[in-house]
Amino acid sequence: MSSEYNTENTASACLGYNRCCMEEKEKPRKKISKSGKIALIIMSIIVVLALIGIALYQVPAIKRKVYPYVTIYKARIVYFFKPPSKTTFDPSVNTTMDAGVIATLTAMAPTATPSPEPTNTSEPAQATETLMPIEPSATPAPTDIPAQVSLEGIVQEYQRFNACGPTNLALALRYWGWEGEPIDIEKVIKPTLADLNVTPHEMLYYIQNHTELNALIRYGGDLEMLKKLVAAGFPVLIERGYINRDSQREGGWMGHYGVIDAYDDERGAVHIPDTFNGYIWVNYERLQSDWDEFAGTYLLIFEPEDEAKILTLLGEHADPAYNLDYTIEKFRTKLENSERHEQYFIWYTLGELLVMKKDYVEAAKAFDEAFAVYGWLPVDDRPWRMLWYQVGPYEAYYYTGRYDDVVSLAFKTVTDASEPALPETFLWSARAQIKKGNIGTATFELKRALQYHPGWEPALAELKALGVEP
């Protein structure tokens, strides 16, 4: 009885199971809608294209072409959500220096001996002058300067992204028979596309070590000196402030190089084969104002046999110590007659010049004043890129023992940039971190400096001193 019962139950169970399985099999599968299929296909295509784009971006030739556009649009997005001009820097009120700092400053104080050509300690090498001695009182023979001069031989060329320095240097060198390309210069002093700045001393270094020509840097340039040099057959490479009016958000104030190859008194302007805007004329007043934002800095290139001629044309400014002192007094006088909105650049310039003189205490005071005026300026008028080009505040604060100010200012500068390709900023921040005992952080920042400037000697030297392999 039980056997039959179990058999029947088992059979019934099997039939029920089979029926359930059949019913399960017969359930219709959910179908993807047509619109869902299209969306899936589109997403797949986007992913594939993105992967292909990333792969192609790694190809150097393609990256060079695409990089400017990527950088510009990235900057637009970053600066839209975080406008860099809205942030300010407030130096510490505690400027008391300890005994060690005072002793260091005393040891570094200038002596009565005329100083050599000022050099920036953050340059790839010591770019110094190799000119014959000249008496400070030497003056050029009086000559009549023509009302109009135009030099032949400088052909305008458009720059690569963030490469106005190497391109303008190439234009000036070609005037003297150099046959290279801007990329040849970039490989030495701007080895990565992202590096945001090339300094005049880096240009000087390139000329002295990679050409048969000679060069010098002077400050406090004015129209009289400019016209005198051009009239004598020497184009003048200057650094000046420039406002990109075409794109305010990622534009605004920035530094820019230009070669002066002509002037015209009747027009009241100088001619520049500009690497960004093409052939342009800039009126005298505008030029002097923009030029003063970089201390009237000018670079002269010449053949070795023209050395005596150059020194004679420069007169008292042939002596770099005299030129520096003259320029400091020029800007101190300019400060006395300036309006409030003009004082930021004047104070900042004074700070830079005093750093060159190694008067770090007064330089730090000048920078404190500059940053105070900066906070007063309308947001849209703030030159927030200044630390990209002139890093004197780091040096002044560092040598006066204000390491926290160095770190804070560096942090602001780095975070304000859409891509922090600022090796000089990382270098000085690292030096301050070392003084604060933060060796790990310093090592990280030195390696970041090398990321944007591979093989850069100052960063390598700091790592070596720490016993760290780059």
- Is residue 15 pLDDT above 90, yes or no? no
Over residues 103-161, the pLDDT tens digits come to 556 555 554 333 334 334 344 444 666 554 444 444 545 567 999 999 999 999 999 88
Same domain, residue pair 404 and 444: yes
Same domain, residue pair 325 and 392: no
Same domain, residue pair 156 and 187: yes
Weakest mean pLDDT among 99-103, 225-229, 321-325, 386-390: 99-103
> Which domain covers residue 375, as residue numbers?
90-112+360-470
Same domain, residue pair 366 and 290: no
- Local structure of 260: helix, strand or coil: strand
Q: What's the whole-number mean pLDDT along residues 18-30?
A: 50
Over residues 74-86, the pLDDT tens digits come to 666 766 677 788 8
**How far apart are the C-alpha atoms of 59 and 446, rounded to whole Å?**
27
Same domain, residue pair 299 and 390: no
Q: What's the whole-number mean pLDDT along residues 311-324?
A: 97
The CATH number of whichever domain residue 245 belongs to comes to: 3.90.70.10
> Domain for residue 1, yes or no?
no
Over residues 376-408, the pLDDT tens digits come to 999 988 999 999 999 999 999 999 999 999 999
> Domain for residue 16, yes or no?
no
pLDDT band at 70 (very low <50, low <70, confident <90, very high): low
Q: What's the whole-number mean pLDDT along residues 347-361?
A: 97
Q: Which of 382, 405, 381, 379 has the alpha carbon at shortest distance from 392?
A: 405
Over residues 191-210, the pLDDT tens digits come to 988 888 899 999 999 999 99
The CATH number of whichever domain residue 376 belongs to comes to: 1.25.40.10
What string of DSSP letters covers 375-410? HHS-GGG--TTHHHH--HHHHHHHHTT-HHHHHHHH
Over residues 238-249, the pLDDT tens digits come to 999 998 755 444
73: left (phi over 0), alpha (psi -120 to 50) or beta: alpha
436: exposed, middle or buried (Cβ count in 10 Å: 0-12, 13-18, 19+):
middle
Domain C-terminal end among 59, 81, 103: 81
pTM (predicted TM-score): 0.79
Domain C-terminal end among 271, 306, 337: 337
pLDDT band at 13 (very low <50, low <70, confident <90, very high): very low
pLDDT at 47: 81
pLDDT at 207: 97
**How far apart are the C-alpha atoms of 100 and 102, rounded to whole Å?**
5
Same domain, residue pair 186 and 217: yes
> Domain for residue 181, yes or no?
yes
- Is residue 65 pLDDT above 80, yes or no? no
Cα dihedral sign, 8-11-13-15: negative
Weakest mean pLDDT among 34-48, 87-101, 392-406: 87-101
